[in-house]
Structure 1
Amino acid sequence: MTTDDESLNRLFRALGDTTRRNIITELGKRDHQSLFELYTRVVSNHGIGQTRQGFSRHLTTLQEAGLIEIEWQGTTKLHSLNANPILQLKSGWLKSLEEDPQ
């Protein structure tokens, strides 16, 4: 398996979970959110019942897939969306499925 295949697999695993897609949705509305803020928005806006520890694991998965960027502000970790992997998927592998197979 090539590095590109591994990256694509990580991306699909990250996108394959409802909670993680809801996190992406909330980060798409506003970047630079703390864990507490993001957790509160996802739970209240999407009705997800999740512990903060479980929620943190979702953030780690998204970060490993390159979908979240982290910035420290003092002792607070701020999360922002990095949509580039999704855009690359859209213009790369998914685009190749639209092309004429001839």
Structure 2
Amino acid sequence: MADIFTALADSTRRAVLDELAARDGQTLFELCGKLATKHGISSSRQAITQHLGMLEAVGLVTTRRAGRYKFHHADFTPLRAVSTRWPIPQEEP
């Protein structure tokens, strides 16, 4: 679980997850474009690839290859372990 927190500690990785949550199945090229225009993140493709690798290592991103393209998909299942361990109580109306 510590690895998930490490992955989420970085603002660029959180922005990548935001973009994949908004539209799943994006290529590296699409993600780099969205990160630059919407978030002002002008990291190199290599840097974004490393961020995707970290997110994939902790299970928050999966990739699917189709021909010469790799499509990246968000998988928020690992976050369920966090919410199960520390459930957020419902507020009384």
TM-score normalised over the length of structure 1: 0.81
Compute the displacement of 1:88 (Å).
2.2
Task: Give me the CA root mean square deviation.
Answer: 1.4
For 2:44, give the aligned amino acid: T
Identity %, equivalent residues: 34
Q: 5 Å matches for 1:1-102?
A: 8-92=1-85, 94-95=86-87
Note the residue ranges of structure 2 that are not aligned, 5 or more in a row.
none
Please state which structure has a larger fraction of its residues in helix. Answer: 1
Q: Which aligned segments of 4 or more residues in structure 1 are displaced greater than 4 angstroms?
A: none
**What TM-score does the superposition give when structure 2 sets the normalisation length?**
0.89
Deviation at 1:52, TM superposition (A): 1.1
* Aligned length, in residue pairs: 89
Q: Distance in 2 between matches of 1:43 and 1:83?
A: 24
Query: Secondary structure of the residue that 1:49 maps to in structure 2?
Result: coil
CA contact (8 A) 2:35 2:42 kept: no
